[in-house]
């Protein structure tokens, strides 16, 4: 079994159609700079998009120079709350364009 980890843009781009990943989303309260809400949602790769009934993302967007890496991260398997809590939210410079 492979380890549960935050997936890189390269890993996301190479997913086959129908592959499921788990998106973790943080919404920030800009005034207090605190996390307002955390949600975990299954997403599926389809024709180059990672999507569900509500939202989508092009894997290449994870390379953007903005703060998208601090709002979303994609897990290879469904993580536990403990796993998510133990993984710091960081900007991965090696992912940026």
pLDDT tens-digit readout, 61-88: 888 877 788 889 999 999 998 998 899 8
Per residue in 5-38, pLDDT (tens digit) is 999 999 999 999 999 999 998 866 666 555 555 6
In the predicted model, is pLDDT for residue 44 greater than 80?
yes
| Cβ neighbourhood burial of 7 (10 Å; 0-12, 13-18, 19+) | buried
* Distance, C-alpha 38 to centroid of its chain: 12
Average pLDDT over residues 54-62: 90
* Distance, C-alpha 77 to centroid of its chain: 11
What is the reported pTM? 0.84
Q: Are 17 and 33 in contact (CB under 8 A)?
A: no
């Amino acid at each position: 079994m492979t380890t549960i980890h935050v997936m890189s843009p390269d890993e996301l781009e190479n997913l086959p159609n129908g592959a499921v990943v788990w998106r973790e989303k943080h919404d920030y309260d800009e005034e207090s700079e605190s996390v307002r809400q955390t949600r975990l949602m299954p997403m599926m790769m389809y024709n180059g998009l990672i999507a569900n009934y509500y939202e989508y993302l092009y894997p290449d967007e994870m390379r953007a120079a903005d703060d998208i890496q601090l709002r979303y991260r994609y897990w290879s398997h469904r993580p536990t709350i403990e796993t998510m809590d133990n993984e710091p939210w960081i900007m991965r410079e090696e992912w940026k364009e």
